[in-house]
Amino acid sequence: MSEQQGMRGTTILCVRKDGKVVVAGDGQVTLGSHVMKSGARKVRRLHDGQVIIGFAGSTADAFTLFERFEAKLQAYGGNLRRAAVELAKDWRTDRALRRLEALLIAADARDTLVLSGSGDVIEPDFGVAAVGSGGKYAEAAALALLRHSSLDAEQIAREAMAIAAGICIYTNTNLTLESLEASP
CB contact at 8 A, 55 and 66: yes
CB contact at 8 A, 46 and 70: yes
Alpha helices in the chain (DSSP H): 59-75, 80-93, 135-148, 153-167
Question: d(Cα 107, Cα 32) in Å, to the nearest integer?
Answer: 30
For 2-12, give one letter per residue: b (16+ CB within 10 A) or e.
eeeebbbbbbb
Question: d(Cα 167, Cα 115) in Å, to the nearest integer?
Answer: 25
Q: Catalytic site residue 64?
A: no
Between the CA of residue 6 and those of 37, 62, 134, 154, what are the distances in Å? Answer: 13, 13, 18, 31
Catalytic residue among 10, 30, 112, 171: 10
Instruction: Give the closest residue to 175 by CA, choosing from 161, 154, 156.
Output: 161
Q: Catalogue the active-site residues.
A: 10
